[in-house]
């Protein structure tokens, strides 16, 4: 078993935007636009210190999706690809706090207003204004545990690098036809772990 610390940063021109569902109640007679303006920060994932974090599962699903898209075959496995080995062979240990020189606090994040589908389903009809957090520049450190020996450092690094470009994280990422949420891995630090 191995662990790897991955130093990540966004690709310039590709901000990170979150869209976590929340159930903040409406105030009495509050219109939807006013509710959006008041509650958009609740669409962010934060830690106990109110630092914005990328959910661990976002990185897990990003890399799993990249493995599926790449479809690289495993040598000696009769046409099997790495897809299933990634699905069960690694995990991201914790949510990843973001920084830009200093930790990015929830209260310091700006927002962007877009015209979005009222029901959240692309192409479904009526569009309404929606507000989302937008982080133009960030870096963070993700810790992964690799439990499958077929996921060698070379294979894992290749898939993380591809995931940051072709899949991405957050709202309006490349996987969903957007340009946000692209990232690059700038350094990998590996260590073996004894069971």
pLDDT cut 90: percent of the chain above it: 88
Supply the pLDDT for residue 124: 79
Q: What is the CATH number of the domain that holds 82?
A: 3.30.70
Residues in CB range of 190: below 8 A, 6 or more apart: 2, 3, 4, 153
Label residue 3 by pLDDT band (50, 70, 90): very high
Q: With 90 as the cut, is the pLDDT of residue 195 above it?
A: no
Q: How many CA atoms lie within 13 A of 81 on its CB side?
A: 12
Q: What is the pLDDT of residues 121-172, one digit of tens each?
A: 777 778 888 999 999 999 999 999 999 999 999 999 999 999 999 999 999 9
Q: What is the pLDDT of residues 43-87, one digit of tens each?
A: 999 999 999 999 999 999 999 999 999 999 999 888 899 999 999
Longest Cα separation, the chain: 65
Q: What is the mean pLDDT of the chain?
A: 95
Domains contained in the chain, number? 1
Q: With 80 as the cut, is the pLDDT of residue 120 above it?
A: no
Q: Which domain holds residue 98?
A: 2-15+44-106+136-192
Supply the pLDDT for residue 66: 98
> What gap in Å lies between CA 159 and CA 72, rounded to an integer?
10
- Identify which has the larger pLDDT, 194 or 28: 28
Q: Is 111 exposed, middle or buried (0-12, 13-18, 19+ CB in 10 A)?
A: middle
Is residue 27 one of the residues assigned to a domain?
no
Pairing state of beta strands 53-54 and 96-97? antiparallel
Is residue 99 one of the residues assigned to a domain?
yes
**Closest residue by Cα to residue 99 from 155, 58, 140:** 140
CB 80 within 8 A of CB 73: yes
Label residue 7 by pLDDT band (50, 70, 90): very high
Is residue 83 one of the residues assigned to a domain?
yes
Is residue 123 one of the residues assigned to a domain?
no
């Amino acid at each position: 078993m191995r662990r790897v610390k991955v130093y990540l940063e966004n690709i310039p021109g590709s901000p990170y935007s979150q869209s976590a569902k929340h159930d903040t109640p409406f105030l009495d007679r509050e219109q939807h636009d006013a509710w959006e303006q008041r509650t958009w920060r609740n669409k962010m994932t934060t830690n106990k210190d109110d630092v914005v974090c990328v959910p661990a599962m976002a990185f897990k699903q990003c890399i799993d999706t990249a493995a599926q898209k790449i479809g690289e075959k495993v040598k000696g496995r009769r046409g099997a690809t790495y897809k299933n080995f990634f699905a069960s062979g690694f995990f991201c240990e914790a949510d990843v706090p973001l920084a830009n020189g200093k930790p990015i606090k929830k209260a310091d994040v700006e927002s962007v207003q877009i015209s979005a589908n009222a029901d959240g389903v692309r192409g479904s009809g009526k569009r309404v204004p929606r507000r989302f957090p937008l982080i133009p520049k960030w870096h963070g450190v993700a810790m992964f545990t690799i439990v499958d020996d077929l996921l060698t450092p070379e294979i894992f690094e290749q898939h993380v690098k591809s995931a940051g470009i072709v899949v991405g994280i957050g709202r309006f990422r490349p996987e969903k036809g957007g340009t946000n949420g692209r990232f690059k891995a700038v350094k990998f630090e590996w260590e073996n772990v004894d069971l």
